[in-house]
Amino acid sequence: MTLGQITGVPILDYHRIVPVSRFGASDDRFGVHESAFREQLQLLLDLKITVVTPEDIAAGQLPARSVALTFDDGYSSHYEIAFRELSEFKVTATFFVNTSSIGTGEFLDWTMAAEMIRGGMRFGSHAHNHIVLTTLNSDRVREELRVSRQMLEQHLASAIEVLAVPYGFCDQHVLDAAWESGYRVVCTSKPWPAQKGARVLSRVGVLQQTSLNEFRKLVEKDPAVYLRLLGRDRALAIPRYVFVRLRPEILGVRTAEDSL
Ligand SMILES: [Zn+2]
């Protein structure tokens, strides 16, 4: 690979969208402010970048300049803010939800999700519980993936074929369980553009600190930005896999031990 030539399609990964009324009040580094999100959608429009879906990328037929938009964890702000903005800009996105959270606390309920589907949005599984799948045995992974897919298909009357693994933790046994459970595409959190025609798609996070300038570099596949993000991800990968086994509380993630 030479600088200036990164292949693939960026899949942007969002978490909470923070409303104007809570500006300055959120210290959640994953929470993107409403106005920043709007500026990002406007920039995609200005740059004439087509918004596609993870399934389109896996199928490999795409316009020259495209991105996909994804949202994790199923927050109600996805309905209240993201859905409204996306509809206004006439673009779609995929929402990965944990079916055990739907209708509780700060999360989407089924009525909101159904309205989003009718409005052209898509849904995928983020497992039934928000748990590190690599710490579960194969039967429990399959159960997490099967229950979640069944519930989503039942409530939304829509085929669910894409899984995003919680916290980005993935290995071969998780992938095998996904294929066996009827998923066709798995999204991870390796910060790199997704490769056309692949079944395992990397995604790059959009965070509170992501400036519009950096966002532009992400969607235009600036090699320096991706190499920096990938370098940081690689440096943290081994400690992350060690800590998730030995000291998961340090990472603040939920593992098999917590759920027994
Ligand atoms: Zn998540």
Output the average pLDDT for the chain: 92
Cα 131 to averaged position of ligand 1 atoms, centre (Å): 8
Residue 2 has pLDDT above 60, yes or no: no
Cα 72 to averaged position of ligand 1 atoms, centre (Å): 5
Helical pair 138-156 and 110-118, crossing angle rounded to 10 deg? 70
Name the pTM for this structure.
0.93
Cα 145 to averaged position of ligand 1 atoms, centre (Å): 14
Residue 152 tokens read as 């989503």
pLDDT value, residue 257: 65
Radius of gyration of the chain from its Cα atoms, rounded to whole angstroms: 17
Residue 195 has pLDDT above 90, yes or no: yes
Cα 4 to averaged position of ligand 1 atoms, centre (Å): 31
As a whole number of angstroms, the distance between CA 10 and CA 65 comes to 10
- First CA to last CA distance, the chain: 46
25-72 confidence digits (pLDDT tens): 666 788 999 999 999 999 999 999 999 999 999 999 898 899 999 999
Non-local (6+) Cβ contacts of 163 within 8 A are: 96, 124, 125, 126, 127, 145, 178, 183, 185, 186, 187
102-111 confidence digits (pLDDT tens): 999 999 999 9
Cα 73 to averaged position of ligand 1 atoms, centre (Å): 5
Residue 246 has pLDDT above 80, yes or no: no
One DSSP character per residue, 45-74 reads HHTTPEEE-HHHHHHT---SSEEEEEEES-
The answer to whether the beta carbons of residues 89 and 45 sit under 8 Å apart is yes
As a whole number of angstroms, the distance between CA 186 and CA 134 comes to 14
